[in-house]
Structure 1
Amino acid sequence: MRVVVFVKATGDSEAGVMPSSELVEAMGRFNEELVNAGIMLGGEGLKPSKIGKRVAFDGESRRVIDGPFAETRELVAGYWIWEVRDMDEAVEWVKRCPNPMPGPSEIEIRPVYTMEDFAEAMTPEGSAVHDRVAAKLAEKQ
């Protein structure tokens, strides 16, 4: 099962406060454990939303919204992509994670859809295009 693990933003992360050297080292060791266990497929920290943008969709209309974005607790400050047996394993790994922020923080775990989840809506044409995309992505790795 593939999951995306979101490190939720805080006031400090949105203000651009950089982590301490101790936290950088602790997170590096945790990431190393994840990689050695075959769990971590990728992950990065994200810069504050004040330098981000959103694109709002309404039919054919597109509107660009400049950051910063409200509701800091709903924003993401970083993420991992993990391959785990199940949600229980993902939760156990998150519990081992160093606190990613200087104060209180949260980490959210969300399962990723697979093409099988869309079987009811999948046409042969849709399947073909998704297969081509998957093949091109595999070439890049």
Structure 2
Amino acid sequence: MAYMVMRRCGGDGATPSGAPLPVPGITLRDGADAVRLLRRNGQWRVEAGPFPPAELVDAFALLEAASLPEAIAQVRAWPGGDDATVYELREAGCAGGCAGFDERGTVGGNVPRRDPALTRYVFFIRADDVLEQDLVPPPEVIAAMNRHNEQGVRDGVLLAGEGLKSSARGARVRLAAGASTVVDGPFTEVKELIAGYWMLQAGSPEAALDCMRRYPYPGDGDVTLEMHRVREPAAAPGGPPER
């Protein structure tokens, strides 16, 4: 079973560091660079940051574990620094069978192709009261999403994507030097939660935003997406990370 672990940028004493995670994952650029793509009443608009730190994530990774307690135990074994760090763990997978994908490929056998000339962007879909209910979309909606994902990978645009179960299936681990605490979900601050993500590559932020405007989201209601640029590894061994 897969669990997504997200490093929170604020709240509960969490301090964003921009440092890589203790396991392979994705680190994001400063949250001040984030923008939100909002669909309201069928119309799209872009909202520039900065956004409240408590709503942001600055890094994430997928862990394999047999259960949530086992995933929590893995995170509690990570090193704690002088400043507290909060990790949110959520069960990966979206209701209804929309298939996640990453560098290992899609269920259709398509493997994402990274183009170093393009910039990687992560889009988080922000949770709402509906998504927190783990409602199952109609089969035709799930099929349309899966087809779109497969085509996006074939086109060399989409690199990864995964849904997240409601926060009732999650927990938060707070790590500090020599101590750790765990708070079980659900979490009441729904606007601070994430319901899934996509990672894509594009030649510009505008091209990335346009790609996500065309995604076949379930239903015709409101959608809030948050775009972050990926913090790429240093080009030279031992060099500083990209900022």
TM range (shorter): 0.7 to 0.9
Give 1:10 shift. 1.8
**Which of 163, 166, 170 is 1:45 aligned to?**
163
1:21-76 CA distance string (max 9 Å, x none): 12212212221231121011111111111011111133432211111112212211
Equivalences for residues 1-141 of structure 1 within 5 A? 1-100=119-218, 103-116=221-234, 124=238
Q: TM-score, normalised by structure 1?
A: 0.75
The structure with higher relative contact order (CA 8 Å, sep 6+) is 1
Higher normalized strand content (fraction of residues): 2
Return closer, same or farther for 1:56/1:35 CA change in 2, 3 Å cut-off. Answer: same
Report the secondary structure of 1:81's partner residue: strand
Q: Secondary structure at the match of 1:115?
A: coil
Instruction: Tell me which protein shows more helix as a share of its residues.
Output: 1
TM-score normalised according to structure 2 size: 0.45
Residue 102 (structure 1) shift:
5.9
Distance 2:194 2:162 in 1: 11
Tell me how far apart the structure 2 counterparts of residues 73 and 54 of structure 1 sit (CA, whole Å). 16
**What CA distance in whole angstroms lies between the structure 2 residues aligned with 1:70 and 1:8?**
14
Unaligned runs of 5+ in 2: 1-118
- Aligned CA-pair RMSD: 2.5
Runs of 4+ deviating beyond 3 Å: none
**C-alpha spacing 1:53/1:102, structure 2 compared with 1 (3 Å):** farther
Contiguous gaps of at least 5 residues in structure 1? 131-141
Count of equivalent residues: 123
